[in-house]
Amino acid sequence: MSDAWTDRKQRCLINSLVSSPIGKMFVKSIDGSNFVKTVKKLFQMFDSLVEEIGEENVVQVIRDNGSNFVLAGKLLEEKRLNLYWTPCAAHCIDLMLEDIGKLSLIKQTIQRGISLVGFTYSHSSTLSLLRQFTNKRELVRHVVTLFIITKVASREGKFEKDVNF
């Protein structure tokens, strides 16, 4: 499992973990700033991770939907015939929800909801009434979320090598 994100200095950091039935374990963190958009370098990174974990332990790599990740995945599948590289369903759903949120009626409804929550939480008497009539429940607040994940799953849930953090 690799989670890629960009920090405030515009560095692309890729944290790699393994996921198995017994849990998740950190493997390494890589600064991918110089190669994240390069298919060949992405392929080399994923290939070396599979090599480090052991090809016999890897069942599937679930990837980001960016074209560079798709092409790197195809190269990895060509080299490692027993490995499956598939798009991340959660990322697909996230992208679909973003597109749905751009529809004018939905966008307007979301904006109204954000305004209502803002109004409610900025007026203490309104907030007090809300809590009184909803058994102290809170409104859902608008937040920006980020989502990129690539997953490497274990065949047997076992990894024989120790990993230093």
Confidence tier at 9 by pLDDT (50, 70, 90) = confident
Domain spanning 2-92+145-154 has what CATH number? 3.30.420
Compute the average pLDDT of residues 110-127. Answer: 93
pLDDT reported for residue 145:
59
Residue 61, pLDDT above cutoff 90: no
Residues 1, 32: Cα–Cα separation, whole Å: 15
Q: Of the ranges 56-70, 80-94, 122-136, 148-162, which one carries the lowest mean pLDDT score?
A: 148-162
Instruction: Provide the residue ranges of all domains of the chain, joining segments of one domain with +.
Output: 2-92+145-154
pLDDT tens digits, 64-82: 777 888 888 899 999 998 8
pLDDT reported for residue 161:
34
pLDDT reported for residue 15:
77
Q: In this structure, how many other beta carbons lie within 10 angstroms of the beta carbon of residue 84?
A: 14
Compute the average pLDDT of residues 78-104. Answer: 87
pLDDT reported for residue 24:
81
DSSP 136: T
- Say if CB 14 and CB 153 are below 8 A apart: no
Compute the average pLDDT of residues 78-99. Answer: 85
Average pLDDT, rounded, for the chain:
80
